[in-house]
Structure 1
């Protein structure tokens, strides 16, 4: 296992350092976290470890505003997308991959949806953890995994039903969970995290 730091100059005003973990496999998992949901938050942290256990390379991306502890601003999205593409392209220049899996949470899902056309020449697959509705067209056209709570105010039940009709999408719903995938019972939230991890493992395998 080798580690490579991919450094770029951020629009925020300093250099961003993102880590590429390289193993002997030919699959790259790219992690795109949420705004407040960082790469160390449960679903990102465990998907990272699952990918490594499956022998995948993993590229973790941190956004500039996260490093400065500033809130996410929609106006910054074009700059964030540009930086993500720069980081990904540098990783793809280091090693050739037969398969790329994008794993996004919330705004990470929005980013991977926006940049998807730039990587259409690759064999790409997608994990969507509490996405926005704007990601539905990409789910329809690509092998995907959707993890979503039934009480998510952003991605509602009718959207879950629509995506469930797509042949290439695996949908894992968490009853009563909100946009953070929390329920009103901590033990149920932990149990559903474990089930979700097993579904992610099966998808990546």
Structure 2
């Protein structure tokens, strides 16, 4: 990890701030992280996305939402409101020129990340969608992306999986026995294996040149 790291707090609204971890390097990449319901960028799956990006010398933007999002917001106007804010925040970071832009999102955050990707241009963004929702499918179809889903996900079912597997731009990773949280209930060893697998996917994804 680079030692010359500046942390900038960007107001999101309603007293919330997004954190922008900026490396000294003038030519690097940006990773923006879009959290889930009750799952911010300090929780394991997203923390290690941030960690993997910083190790590569990339800048990291940890998005905070203006209001608390829940599963009840799926597909609703409240997602668009957060996407408005998220787009503005990402654009502020884009005052610096980046070689590549990556989005990592989880759960309800995949909808926000998908809309922001659309507004900035799907072709400009590489996405990792963790446990997406049905409403994210249209964004997955238009993105060069990796989608990670547990076989016991109660929301992103086999019907959803079949829809995204039709697209050659999508790399699909199925995690055996994992639930929507990408955990294996009552089995800490398997849960840690899942975390390791997803973290390894980040490391590979961030190193890809094209």
TM-score in terms of structure 2 length: 0.85
How far apart, in 1, do the equivalents of 2:144 and 2:18 lie? 30
Paired residues of 1:98 and 1:122 also in contact (CA < 8 A): no
Residue 122 and residue 4 in structure 1: after superposition, are their counterparts in 2 closer, same or farther (change >3 A)?
farther
Residue 123 and residue 98 in structure 1: after superposition, are their counterparts in 2 closer, same or farther (change >3 A)?
farther
Pick from 2, 5, 8: which aligns with 2:11?
A: 8
Paired residues of 1:98 and 1:123 also in contact (CA < 8 A): no
How far did residue 48 of structure 1 move? 0.6
TM-score in terms of structure 1 length: 0.87
Q: What's 1:91 paired with?
A: 93
Matches within 5 A, 1:63-78: 63-65=65-67, 72=70, 74=73, 76-78=78-80
How far apart, in 2, do the equivalents of 1:15 and 1:48 lie? 19
Pick from 33, 39, 42: which aligns with 1:40?
A: 42
Asked if residue 152 in structure 1 is aligned to residue 128 in structure 2, the reply is no
SS in 1 for 2:42: coil
Paired residues of 1:172 and 1:196 also in contact (CA < 8 A): no
How far did residue 71 of structure 1 move? 6.1
How far did residue 169 of structure 1 move? 1.6
How far apart, in 2, do the equivalents of 1:38 and 1:22 lie? 22
Which range is displaced more, 177-186 or 77-86?
Answer: 77-86
CA-based RMSD of the aligned residues comes to 2.1
How far apart, in 2, do the equivalents of 1:71 and 1:128 lie? 17
Q: What's 1:190 paired with?
A: 192
Instruction: Extract unaligned runs of 5+ from structure 1.
Output: none
How far apart, in 2, do the equivalents of 1:167 and 1:180 lie? 26
Q: What's 1:103 paired with?
A: 104
Paired residues of 2:148 and 2:174 also in contact (CA < 8 A): yes
Q: Deviations over 1:9-60 (max 9, x none)?
A: 51x3x25242232242431110011121111111100011111112221111
Residue-pair matches, total: 198
